Structure 1
Amino acid sequence: MINLLPILLNEDIIQTNVLILEVWTMLDDTPRKLLLILTHYQRHFGTLPGLPELERLSGRTPVPIKEGLAVLAKENYIQWQPDMPPERAVIIEGWERDNPSHDAPQVGVQRSGRGNEQGNTDYWQYY
């Protein structure tokens, strides 16, 4: 058996490759689904859905819905008390935080390759 420890400890040979993993906490399925339902429902109808409507839209029974709302309240996505009806909740943040797939796209000037920077209006003018 070959002893590789002296080779690995030789500072001339060591290359350190550091892998940095981003760890974010995601909501469970029910709270995430309820947050999306609440946000979209409020944007569409201007009010929050009641418990029967949440049951219909989420496909969940009242107990998991109330547990999911409690998780959202604990994580400060909504303001809600367990003795309140769901339509009296207040949405604080309508999307999952710390999830890179939900980041807003970078806004910048799109270049046409012609040397002028007119945004994307040249698409409609030249094509």
Structure 2
Amino acid sequence: MLSDYERKVLRILYNYNSGRRRLPTFHELTVKTGKGRPDVMAALNALMDAEYIHWDDKSDTANIVILEGWERESEKPKLPKAPPPAQPRNLSYWTEY
């Protein structure tokens, strides 16, 4: 499962690639995430290890290939089911007046 920061970096990469037809630079990633270059590099390495991106030449972010743009369904945390809505108990006010 991806951390929030790793998911954020993945979404930035995907959205930049979709909207601008290019990948963000290191400077743009640091501005968009609010973190420094070491944190961005750690997130990119984690995305590589989890096989969300492929990045052989680490000299530039333009060499990144996005393999999956979304977090995998099997890795998302399961949310508990919501209880059914409560039924009103006293309907006489609405039906008799």
| TM-score where L is the length of structure 1 | 0.55
RMSD, aligned CA: 1.7
Q: Provide the aligned length of Structure 1 versus Structure 2.
A: 76
**Alignment identity in percent?**
36
CA contact 2:52–2:68 (8 Å) conserved in 1: yes
Q: Name 2:22's counterpart in structure 1.
A: 47
- Does the 8 Å CA contact 2:56/2:63 hold for their aligned counterparts? no
Higher helix share: 2
Higher relative contact order (CA 8 A, sep 6+): 2
**Rg larger in 1 or in 2?**
1
Deviation at 1:82, TM superposition (A): 7.0
Structure 1: state its 5+ residue gaps: 1-25, 102-127
Shift of residue 85 of structure 1?
Answer: 1.5
**Cα offset for 1:29?**
1.9
Distance apart, 1:27 and its partner CA: 0.4
Q: Provide the C-alpha distance between the structure 2 equivalents of 1:80 and 1:88, rounded to a whole number of angstroms.
A: 6
Q: How far apart, CA to CA, are the structure 1 residues paired with 2:54 and 2:40?
A: 15
- Offset of residue 36 of structure 1: 0.5
Does 1:59 pair with 2:34?
A: yes
Cα deviation, residue 81, structure 1: 3.8
TM-score by length of 2: 0.71
